[in-house]
Structure 1
């Protein structure tokens, strides 16, 4: 059997949400159904602006009677302040865990660690592998996996077609459907209200999601994040993160599905700068290239 790989995700940190009202607090605030975390141990999720755009995206783990929010370290303090703002009189304890407790990604096989606080399949896509939380000093020696750098994990994530905030899009810029969060288990359309819920529900029920993250691939180096992707000289989307895999450049791109479909029908190649690229849907996608063509 192949040896699994692991990466200590040093760009992630954990916020503990505890107290008698922890479940109720999160359920009324974030996009996902916290019952899913209770059943499965984890859920993808986000906190939105009142206008329905992603303010923060993260994973939520059930840990005993508490929850751990796995978020980008760069915005952890801002997220903690925002959660504190919404706490009001709820019986909720909020704190950022010290760096001694870390988040590890494991893929390409199974791994166990005696000192782990929790180990769950990544709730966004099983192919991403495991997320394991535990002591940074002990876990690497217990996992029985080969260490890989952050670049290796990002290449693995990109290959699975899973976008992340800050790496692929800026916060407060896009809606959950744009980031495929509805496809990756991070949005509930059956639970009660949460911040930004009306906008997200309207997009879902009217079927007006027309921009999505998809996979792109080419043999030449692409421009950087945020670069235009064009067809026939007109913009059809923007580039997210990229990686070199098996001699090819792969990446994630936020594109207009109908415009890319039209380019495919017309035989117009997609380009990013001088590089020509091909686009395809992630394996887990249930959307298609021919989503409704709505007015610009």
Structure 2
């Protein structure tokens, strides 16, 4: 095991167990992701939207022999269980909290502009992934982006891995330019604005789901005005919600981040070739390699 592998518990995440005879049809009609073909041991990224098409809850959907588990925000788990119970009506579906700790294992070699140009496993992955996949708990490849690494459930740290924190994982995710729940909030953002369509979070072929009409219309028109992209700058963190300017014109707003780097929701039609600033400080919008690969 190489020292570049980091194991980080993710206390901000929690699991919901969904089962019963009708669980597939139930979730298939609700979520942005296809669950009809979800296999045991497989992970897919998706979300539950409002009827108006805004993001309510993100999730990683984990296939199991007897149903699935939903990897969700711990702070929102109770609210999501309650919402799913409202949709359930008389369907033969069981929904309950599952007390299973969530963790991530990732390689620092994949942060930043590097990483696998194909978005999947790289040569560096093959050196360590087989050594712990399926060992010391359940491990699945992160379905959003290969460079993000692995998700672990009831998993111990792999032998030789450095022990990190959720802050370390968030820094890794931010270095890759992947937004998170702190960026999109609840009932504020359309999933395409949060790059769900580019991070395998929406299946446009699956048929109906809550919020599908608005989501599909945005995709069909091919006119996405706003997207979440990383911004780079010198010095201290920028204030959440601070205005991003292109000259004198508003071009977006700052979201989560830290020193020297943050996510921002940007107006794509205003950033090209413009001098960008936040509170008088120069910033640069970056386009991660995975976005070039996937953005049509």
TM bin (shorter chain): 0.7 to 0.9
Q: CA deviation at 1:143?
A: 5.0
Aligned length: 273
In structure 1, C-alpha distance between the alignment counterparts of 2:22 and 2:244, rounded to whole Å: 45
What are the equivalent positions in structure 2 for 1:70-219 lying under 5 Å apart? 70-98=71-99, 101-108=100-107, 109-110=128-129, 111-112=132-133, 114-116=135-137, 118-134=138-154, 139-140=156-157, 142-165=158-181, 167-219=182-234
In structure 2, C-alpha distance between the alignment counterparts of 1:288 and 1:131, rounded to whole Å: 22
Cα RMSD for the two superposed structures:
2.0
Pair 97,145 (structure 1): closer, same or farther in 2 beyond 3 Å: same
- TM-score w.r.t. structure 1 length? 0.86
In structure 2, C-alpha distance between the alignment counterparts of 1:217 and 1:286, rounded to whole Å: 18
| 8 A Cα contact 2:10 2:104, kept in partner | yes
Encode CA deviations 1:202-246: one digit per residue, 9 max, x unaligned: 1111112111111111112232222211111222111122134xx
| 8 A Cα contact 2:49 2:56, kept in partner | yes
Q: What is aligned with 2:291?
A: 285
Pair 270,113 (structure 1): closer, same or farther in 2 beyond 3 Å: same
In structure 2, C-alpha distance between the alignment counterparts of 1:113 and 1:160, rounded to whole Å: 26
In structure 1, C-alpha distance between the alignment counterparts of 2:208 and 2:80, rounded to whole Å: 20
In structure 2, C-alpha distance between the alignment counterparts of 1:70 and 1:121, rounded to whole Å: 13
Unpaired segments ≥5 residues, structure 2:
108-127
Pair 73,143 (structure 1): closer, same or farther in 2 beyond 3 Å: farther
Unpaired segments ≥5 residues, structure 1:
292-296
- TM-score w.r.t. structure 2 length? 0.86
Pair 287,208 (structure 1): closer, same or farther in 2 beyond 3 Å: farther
Pair 168,64 (structure 1): closer, same or farther in 2 beyond 3 Å: same
Encode CA deviations 1:150-192: one digit per residue, 9 max, x unaligned: 2111000111111112x11221111111000011011011111
| Deviates most, 151-160 or 107-116 | 107-116
Q: SS where residue 86 of structure 2 aligns?
A: helix
In structure 1, C-alpha distance between the alignment counterparts of 2:159 and 2:52, rounded to whole Å: 42
Q: SS where residue 291 of structure 2 aligns?
A: coil
| Deviates most, 34-43 or 149-158 | 34-43
In structure 1, C-alpha distance between the alignment counterparts of 2:294 and 2:93, rounded to whole Å: 41
Pair 27,202 (structure 1): closer, same or farther in 2 beyond 3 Å: same
Q: What is aligned with 1:236?
A: 251
In structure 2, C-alpha distance between the alignment counterparts of 1:129 and 1:236, rounded to whole Å: 32
In structure 1, C-alpha distance between the alignment counterparts of 2:159 and 2:102, rounded to whole Å: 13
Pair 9,19 (structure 1): closer, same or farther in 2 beyond 3 Å: same
In structure 1, C-alpha distance between the alignment counterparts of 2:213 and 2:293, rounded to whole Å: 21
Encode CA deviations 1:68-108: one digit per residue, 9 max, x unaligned: 1111111111111001111111111100112xx21110001
